[in-house]
Amino acid sequence: MIDATQIRKGMILNLDRTLYKVMEFTLITPGRWKAIVQIKLRNLHDGSQTERRLRSEERVEQVVLEEIEMEYLYREGEDYVFMNLGNYEQIKLAPDVIGEGVNYLIPNVVFNIAMHEGTPIGIEPPVTVDLLVTETAPFLKGATQSASSKPATLETGLTVTVPQFVKEGDVIRIDTRDNKYLERVKTR
């Protein structure tokens, strides 16, 4: 248990038997009154966001999640199968656990799976992923500088903005933090 004033951005808290990630943290000290902590939280189970105010003397439970490296293997029905790189056990994850990470699911990519008491609650993709361009507009000769980018659909269904020289069949590197094109890759 920690005091409300010790809460920081990125912490995982157990409030009312539900796990939340702290997205924003503000300490309000109104003159002669006691301090108040205002936090914006994201529910780790359903992704919903909420805000809470806590008195400075309130105590909350901080949760430490176990991070396990797992390799994505294949899709089975609606679920996705991952293999633990430490003991080679396989687990199935539902799409709601994976969330936005579904945009980077290609075989043999290693993800960090956040576990709480043996239950997977979220995944974190690697910082960069190489994906195949499946659909994009052709190169426009004489395109001006203002028209130097175009949308491209990748093998996972993700759509990103790419330079004019990228064509269908190219493999490109994507920054998973903001879905930005980084560079064209020679081979996978």
0.75 surpassed by pTM = no
Structure-block tokens of residue 46: 């359903």
Query: Tell me: the pLDDT tens digits for 79-132?
Result: 889 998 888 889 888 887 777 788 888 888 898 888 888 778 778 888 899 989
Edge-to-edge strands, sheet with 159-163: 159-163, 149-154, 128-136, 171-175, 180-185
Confidence of residue 28 (pLDDT cuts 50, 70, 90): confident
* Cα-Cα-Cα-Cα dihedral sign, residues 117, 114, 120, 188: negative
Q: Which domains does the chain have, with CATH numbers?
A: 2-63 (2.30.30.30), 66-124 (2.40.50.140), 128-185 (2.40.50.140)
